[in-house]
Structure 1
Amino acid sequence: MAATEIGEHFSLSGFGTLAALRTDTDDAGYIRESQTKGATDSFNLGTDSNFGVQLTGRANSWLSATVQTLTKRRSSLYGATQVEWLFVKIEPLPGLAIRGGRIATPTFAISDTRNIGYANPWVHAPNEVYGLAVVDQLRGGDITYTHDLGGGTMNWTALAGSNLFTINAGFGPFESKEKNVIGVNAVWENDWLTLRAGRTKGDIDLRPIGVFGDTYTFTGVGAIVNRNDWLIQGEYVTRRTDIVRRESNADAWYALVGHRFGNLQPFVGYAAADPKYVNPLNGKQTTTSVGVRWDFHPSMALKAQWDSVDTHGTIGKSFDLGSFRPGFDGKANVFAVALDFVF
């Protein structure tokens, strides 16, 4: 994001997506993450649209604070604004950074930019992978050490804290808690390659279903190649619990390939979620995607994307169980267009 300086100590930046999405069925509602209101066979502006603003204040060369708000559809029927980031950052030594407050959990290769449509090739990320993590924020802190390694830059991060999160379990969303969170994340990158591996672990309480202190572990690896107009990107993740393993345990992955022709970047992708135990709340799903991005302005991009989603006779990962109608075969075509911008 391009930041605008406000006086000597502050900078303001932002991002947004205005998107319309529809499917070819009204037998089930297409959702993302913890949403409860799904899109059907008429265009829906709420599924992919969002708007974020970030303000950073810097007291000196080693002390700063950042707040980021994000408006998007969450577990309510309409868009809701909440504070995504609110942290103080200390850089006491070269290469060392310590943050405390509300931060993004480094669950994926693009955790810090997952909500910034302009920073990514797609209209929406593969829900098989990005919808698998029920926790993407941390109320606590992390420490990152950065150094040169092998012609690139190596980042090591350790984190600890807790968080509240929302689960859509088919009978409606409910808030839950994750405690005693610890995690590690490692990222190596150079001019054209990014490699990432990480794991977070914590104890979750699911009060409405009488589960307390269940161990939750999320592990992921990923790679991004961006060279000679080619984009190759992929991730593999696993989610594990002990008590609710039949409703939770799953593996997922995606792969995406794109090529830039001037200002146009067409791409194709494939994603799959494979539950360890198939039941109504833990479904299998695969998605084949085709899309194109047009960078018509230095800070704006137009995108179009088609997804062929198949839940293989289960609830899948992208449909609200409460919206299912008799006769839904678990297959849907999803069409989306979006305008992404940063400022």
Structure 2
Amino acid sequence: MKLKPYLGLLALPLAISTAYAADIPDGPTITISGFGTAALTRASTDDAEFARVAQLGGVKTSAGTGVDSNFGIQATAKMNDWLSFTAQGLVRKHVTDEFGGELAWAFAKFKVTDNLNVRVGRMGLPVYMISDYLNVGYASTYLRPPVEMYSQVNLENVDGVDAIYQSSFGESTLTTQVAAGQSETKGNGNSYTAKFKSIAGLNMVLENGPFTVRFGHIYTKFSVDDSPSLNAVVGGLNQFGFTSQANSLKLHDNKATFTSLGLTVDWKNILVQTEYGKRKSESVSLPDTSSWYTMFGYRFGKFTPYFTHGSVKQDSPRTVAGLPTTGPLAGLTAGANALASLAPIQTSNSIGIRWDFNKSADLKIQFDRLSPENGAGTFVNAKPTFQGPVNVVAAAIDFVF
């Protein structure tokens, strides 16, 4: 296990704790805050690796820190009553198999009215119900978001503009967010770049007492022009006259959407959280999916045991029609079908417990049983002999400051 990079990060909160909030004479008010998770995770197989979305590698039977550990720090400079600047840095294992830093947020916020704020720069994109605090483990009951749901869109932020309007009626509050811009992410050890153009997002959250209902919709044009494996298959199909099949696999300015609906209930000691999402795409290489999860929890003082069930399935065909299954082109067909079946089919059941041993820190222990079907599911670097179910166990300390 490569512990040194992460252990060094854990010392940072102590170094900056004295600078939590400072008023600079004749200048802005600067606030510094942060969050992190220190975790150990292991799986019950050596035939594949358990990982979160967009991680190049994960863990097998030897425990590792990389899957669920991270550290983030955020600074906000309030210039006056209507203008502030926020930046957030995040360290985690993402895209590569080493801990690395990234600029998660960097935006200016303009307070137009008491109910309307406009932000310009890099912001979190409201893809999921917990997108605003997706990487803040302390903010969630479970140790990690269910991978079946939260692996469907590999996009966490947008470079552009958004507007957030909040209104109240009776005992209810409605927050509406619209976002527009563009983004890009790397994949498979920086071997290709996924580009998202013309992003448009809508996020609506209705709160009433212990109930929160959330609706979200994201639209984009999606391109991957530099993937060696994708280009090899598309080029081979064009070479042998399968033009329509090649065009169906290409990823260039293809329209894609993700629509989700979520509900949370926090009533007395009862916790319920559920979310359902559908991904649709014009390209066979980005298959259509349906995913959902439900979590139930109950607080006993500082302890919260919980249970989560998650599921994801592919809605579009997992083969490319009209290609030969035998003969010299069978290998090319296999490559095309592999692209058409990239979406995982998997269910999981998780049990865990959260212990709030400190006002700003918790300890979580979680056991997952994941059952991939017709492939490797959400696992990475799978051997041909791999098959589920697989057990995953993790322990984590979340903290905020």
- Structure 1 and Structure 2 fold alike (TM over 0.5): yes
Alpha-carbon distance in 2 for matches of 1:139, 1:85: 9
CA contact (8 A) 1:144 1:158 kept: yes
Determine which of 331, 346, 353 is the counterpart of 1:285.
346
**How far is the alpha carbon of 1:173 from its aligned partner?**
4.7
Alpha-carbon distance in 2 for matches of 1:6, 1:316: 48
Alpha-carbon distance in 1 for matches of 2:139, 2:251: 38
Identity across aligned pairs (percent)?
33
Give the structure 2 partner of residue 327 of structure 1: 385
* 1:142-291 matched pairs, under 5 angstroms: 142-168=162-188, 173-207=191-225, 208=227, 209=230, 210-244=250-284, 247-276=286-315, 277-278=317-318, 280-291=341-352
The range that moved more, 33-42 or 182-191, is: 182-191
Give the structure 2 partner of residue 114 of structure 1: 134
CA contact (8 A) 2:376 2:387 kept: no
Determine which of 77, 82, 94 is the counterpart of 1:74.
94
Gaps of 5+ in 2: 1-16, 231-249, 319-339
**How far is the alpha carbon of 1:172 from its aligned partner?**
7.6
The range that moved more, 190-199 or 281-290, is: 190-199
Greater relative CO (CA pairs within 8 A, separation 6+): 1
SS in 2 for 1:163: strand
SS in 1 for 2:149: helix
Structure with larger Rg: 2
SS in 1 for 2:37: strand
Gaps of 5+ in 1: none
* RMSD (CA atoms): 1.6
Using the size of structure 1 for normalisation, the TM-score is: 0.94
- State the AA in 2 paired with 1:90: F
Q: Report whether the alignment pairs 1:340 with 2:340.
A: no
- State the AA in 1 paired with 2:303: L
SS in 1 for 2:132: helix
Give the structure 2 partner of residue 123 of structure 1: 143
Alpha-carbon distance in 2 for matches of 1:183, 1:332: 35
Q: Report whether the alignment pairs 1:302 with 2:363.
A: yes
Give the structure 1 partner of residue 236 of structure 2: none
Where is the helix percentage greater, Structure 1 or Structure 2? 2
**CA offsets 1:16-68 (integer angstroms, 9 cap, x no match):** 00000001110101110100111000101110000000000001111111000
Using the size of structure 2 for normalisation, the TM-score is: 0.81
Where is the strand percentage greater, Structure 1 or Structure 2? 1
Number of aligned residue pairs:
336
Q: Report whether the alignment pairs 1:4 with 2:20.
A: yes
Alpha-carbon distance in 1 for matches of 2:145, 2:88: 21
Give the structure 2 partner of residue 49 of structure 1: 69
Give the structure 1 partner of residue 332 of structure 2: none
CA contact (8 A) 2:94 2:100 kept: yes
Give the structure 2 partner of residue 58 of structure 1: 78
